[in-house]
Structure formats: C-alpha cells, structure tokens
A and B are shown apart, each in its own frame.
Chain A
Amino acid sequence: MNSRERTDDELVAAAQGGDATAMDELLRRHYDRVHAVCRRIAGGSRDADDAAQEAMIRVVRHLDRFDGRSAFTTWVYRIATNAALDELRKRKRRPQLHIVDDEDHVRPELADEVAHRRIDAVADRITIDAALAGLPDEFRAAVVMRDVGDLDYAEIAAALDVPVGTVKSRIARGRRMLVEALGNREPPSRRPTDDPPDDP
C-alpha cells in the first residue's frame, strides 16, 4: 500500500473495484463530517447516529452508481442530508416529550466552574438545535451543507438539485431565521452564562 494518503477519487476507484480496505478508509475519512451534517439536520445525537449510519450504508450500496461527475464529498453529503431528513421525518411521526440531549446528562448539582461551563455549552447546543428545528427542512439542509459540510453554493445546488440562486437565498434566509430565533445575543464566548435560551 502506498505510504502517501490516497485521494478520495483513488479510494473510490479502488472500492468500486472491490477493495474493502479502500472502502473502509473512505468511510472513516468522511464519517465525522457526515455525522456533523446529520446532527445539525436531524437534531438529536441518537438520530444523528442513526442517520449517519444509514448514510454510510447507502454510500456502500450505491457506490457503483457514483460516476465522479461531482466531487465525492458532494455526493456523500447529499446522501447524508437525505438520510438525516429521512430520520427527521421518522422522528416527526414519533411522539416526543421534550428536547433532550441524550449524550450530555447534565447534573446541575455539580456547581463548580467546569460544570457551569459545561451546562452553558449544553444550553447553547440545545438552543441552536431548537433554532435549527424551527427552520423549514430545505432551508436547514442548505445552511447545514454550507456551514457544517463546507460545500460551496454550486455543490449545494447540485446536491439539492436546485439553482444556485435558490441555494443562495435559502442560506441567507435560513441564517436570518436562525439569528432571529437565537435572539440578538453576543457570540458564545462573550455571552453571559446565565442567559436563558431562547425558544424559537
């Protein structure tokens, strides 16, 4: 095996030829960002885990259909976006009691500095999750693909199969809605720790 890191294209070609190591490497390389995209679209971390896993499975199942006309990342994030939206749709059909972060079991009684910061970080997270949840799916997908997936307008347009102008508009309007939902607060580093989270 080469000592230098193989490009996505090389790994895709090898995986399409049946190289399991290449397939595994490709999945590991992109999993974290796929998960981040899913996390921001689907909301909860368990949903994100499920969506990211589903996205990985779809990548493997459909790799033979990837023809290289777009970047592999574009293709993968498109799949991740769809998987996350599917997960969201499933969740909407399930009864929900309230928003929880199922990874961070906050224990307010730990009243030290670290605990306070942690509680605050969790509050931020819940707040932004709630704000994201208030966006229409198509806006959220565009914003997340841009800000989390780091895809450019053209890639997002290709991924969502809409014109670039639509992407531009959805991102701008989505961000405006997020900012409004989050309130006119300062950036997190400067925000007072006892700010109550704003619900959209």
Chain B
Amino acid sequence: MNDEQYFRANAFLDGELTHEEHRIAAADPVVMAEVERLRALRDELRDAPPPTARARDAAIAAAMAEFTPAGASETTPEVAPPVPFRPRPAAAKYLAVAAALIAVAGLGIVVSQTDFGGGDDDDAASVADAPLSEAAARPDDEMEETAERTLEALDDEMMAESAPAADADASGTDVAGDVPIGGAADEEDAEGDAPDFGADAGRSERVVVPADFDPDDPILNEISLAIYGSYLLDQIELGELGPTPETVCVGNFDILDTATYVLDGDERDVYIAVNDVEGFVLALDVDTCVELAMGALF
C-alpha cells in the first residue's frame, strides 16, 4: 500500500472524501482493507473505560462551585492560583521612573563634578567618561530635557491620581498629559484594586533587558526567554504592548506574545506566557500549549 492509498483510507474512515474520491477508494481492496484495520483501531480507542459516577459528580460539583448564578461573566476571576496578569500599579512605575531618574541624576553629578560647572541647561557637557556608552552618544541637553520631561510626567500623573478633579494642565506642559502611563492600565485593572506591587517586595530585581535586545530575534535559551518576558512586562508598563494572541492555552499565566524559540536546532513557534507574580516566563508550543522552556523573571 502506498502513501496515497493510506491517506485515502484514513480520509475514507473519517468521511472526509468527496463523492468521486469515495468511489475510487471503495473500489480499491487495498484501501478498504486498511479502512477495516483503522476502524478496528478506532473502536479500541473509543472503548475507553467510562468515568465513575463519583468522579462525574465530583467534577460537576467542583465546576458548579465556580459558577455565579448572577451571571457567567462574573465567574471569570480565577479563584485557585492567582493567575491573572495585572498591569503594575502606578506606584511601581513611580519607583521604576524614580530609579531611572536617580541614575540619570547620578550620571549628571559625576559628569559635572568631573568637568565643567553649570551653564545654561548643559551642566553635563562632558560625556567622555560617562559609564554608559549610549548616554555618551546623546547630547547632554537632550538628556536633561528627557529627565525634565519624565519628572514633569511623573508629577502630572501623581497629581492626577491624587486629585483627579484637579486641573489636568496644572504643570503647563504639553508632554506630560500625553504620556499613557496610567490610562490604559487603569482601565484594565478595573477588576482588581488590590495592589500587586507588594509581590515584588523582598525579591531581587527583574531580569534587565539589554539595550541591544531585539524582540524579533529568535529566543535561544531560558535566559533569553526570561529577557523576552521582562521586555514584555516593560512594554506593558509603558502601555506599548501590542494585541496579545488569541489562544486556548489556559494556565497559571497570561499569554502576551508569540515568538520563535530555537529548540534543539529547530525553530518552533511559541506563545510567550508570563506570570509576573510567581516570576516565570514560559514558551508554549502554539499547537499543543505544551511547555517547551521556562525562564525565571527574577
């Protein structure tokens, strides 16, 4: 029997042939013999031991315990493991931005002490000894401006949150108001007011995304998987994460993106699943949802 006959036998059994193909298959004794063999196999597969009444009742009772009569939509929040990914609250972002500002300010102080004094808006004129090559490449006034804009944005956001009714343009800047740090995240976070930044307390820093990281590059190992996960969380914090893939993979994580993972030399399409509470990133096979690799976020 050749492959064509074998595939035809399978399709015959499955009722997936056209009328003409069906006629040809039915006239071929080799195909029909294979159909009988496959049918016997199918019968064996179907002859699975039935569930016990106890297992059935227990399963349905457990499932119904999740049901909220007021409406199925209210059952969505997962009760068992704390799965849902929640965008980090503003306070965590403040901390992150503040840390960045401290770093920038520190850089400015080092540079200014080393070299020139003040001057109009360019007190970090010398960048030759700056520890960050990227920073060195950037004009100082631009750095300063960035820091100022960030500060203003931070101020605005904090003011807006602490006094929502207050005038939105209190700072008088046109930059801060457009920074989408809080808006989208707040909408998504409507279901859970519980601050989750506490989950980060007491544990080490999240994996740092290198400056030359390219999200289009294939993921090569658990370390680059962790970096990818960290990058996605950064994107969320910045409000820049694109649409997440639609998938049926369900678990103690949120699927944020698709990517290519190189496993044993083979490029595999994977979902990138992140649990920022428990601190892991998974690469899941897009066909089966099976976990191919796991990286640690912290």
**Chain A residues closer than 8 Å to B69, beta-carbon distance:** 18-20
With A28-B60, A85-B289, A168-B10 given, name 5 new contacts (CB 8 A): A35-B48, A52-B55, A86-B251, A132-B45, A161-B247
Most-contacted residue by chain A among B11, B47, B68, B250 (CB, 10 A)? B250
Query: What CA separation (Å) do A101 and B48 show in the bound complex?
Result: 12
Docked-complex contact B71 and A18, CB < 8 angstroms: yes
The 10 closest A-B pairs by CB, nearest first: A187-B40, A56-B63, A53-B59, A64-B73, A35-B51, A49-B55, A172-B10, A36-B48, A147-B42, A39-B48
Docked-complex contact B73 and A160, CB < 8 angstroms: no
Of all chain B residues, the one with the shortest Cβ separation from A139 is B288
**Chain A residues closer than 8 Å to B49, beta-carbon distance:** 39, 45, 101, 103-104, 125
Docked-complex contact B251 and A35, CB < 8 angstroms: no
Docked-complex contact B250 and A62, CB < 8 angstroms: yes
For the side of the interface on A, what is the size category? Answer: 35 or more
| A89 lies within 8 A of chain B by Cβ | yes
Docked-complex contact B288 and A141, CB < 8 angstroms: yes
Docked-complex contact B7 and A172, CB < 8 angstroms: yes
Docked-complex contact B44 and A124, CB < 8 angstroms: yes
CB-contact partner of A64 in B51, B72, B78, under 8 A: B72
B208 CB to closest chain A CB, in angstroms? 30
Query: What CA separation (Å) do A63 and B64 show in the bound complex?
Result: 12
Known A17-B71, A86-B251; judge A61-B7 contact (CB<8 A): no
CB-contact partner of B46 in A36, A101, A153, A159, under 8 A: A36
Interface pairs (25), CB distance under 8 Å: A23-B72, A27-B59, A32-B51, A35-B55, A35-B56, A36-B50, A39-B51, A40-B45, A45-B49, A48-B51, A49-B52, A49-B55, A49-B59, A56-B63, A64-B71, A64-B75, A82-B250, A103-B49, A132-B45, A147-B45, A148-B46, A152-B14, A152-B15, A160-B287, A168-B7
Residues of chain B having any CB pair with chain A under 8 Å = 6-7, 10-11, 14-16, 37-38, 40-52, 55-56, 58-60, 62-64, 66-73, 75-76, 78, 247-251, 285-291
Most-contacted residue by chain B among A63, A125, A175 (CB, 10 A)? A175
Query: What CA separation (Å) do A103 and B43 show in the bound complex?
Result: 21
**Chain B residues closer than 8 Å to A119, beta-carbon distance:** none
Docked-complex contact A61 and B78, CB < 8 angstroms: yes
| A6 lies within 8 A of chain B by Cβ | no
Docked-complex contact A63 and B75, CB < 8 angstroms: yes
**Chain A residues closer than 8 Å to B42, beta-carbon distance:** 147
**Chain A residues closer than 8 Å to B51, beta-carbon distance:** 31-32, 35, 39, 45, 48-49, 52
Query: What CA separation (Å) do A39 and B48 show in the bound complex?
Result: 7
Of all chain A residues, the one with the shortest Cβ separation from B76 is A64
CB-contact partner of B40 in A89, A132, A188, under 8 A: A188
**Chain A residues closer than 8 Å to B50, beta-carbon distance:** 32, 35-36
A8 CB to closest chain B CB, in angstroms? 15
Docked-complex contact B7 and A27, CB < 8 angstroms: no
Known A20-B69, A60-B63; judge A171-B10 contact (CB<8 A): yes
Query: What CA separation (Å) do A24 and B69 show in the bound complex?
Result: 11
**Chain A residues closer than 8 Å to B250, beta-carbon distance:** 58, 62, 79, 82-83
A152 CB to closest chain B CB, in angstroms? 7
Of all chain A residues, the one with the shortest Cβ separation from B248 is A78
**Chain B residues closer than 8 Å to A182, beta-carbon distance:** 41
**Chain B residues closer than 8 Å to A124, beta-carbon distance:** 44, 47
Of all chain A residues, the one with the shortest Cβ separation from B44 is A128
**Chain A residues closer than 8 Å to B10, beta-carbon distance:** 168, 171-172, 175
| A100 lies within 8 A of chain B by Cβ | no
CB-contact partner of A82 in B38, B48, B62, B249, under 8 A: B249
Of all chain A residues, the one with the shortest Cβ separation from B249 is A82
| A178 lies within 8 A of chain B by Cβ | yes
CB-contact partner of B287 in A49, A125, A138, under 8 A: A138
Query: What CA separation (Å) do A60 and B68 show in the bound complex?
Result: 9
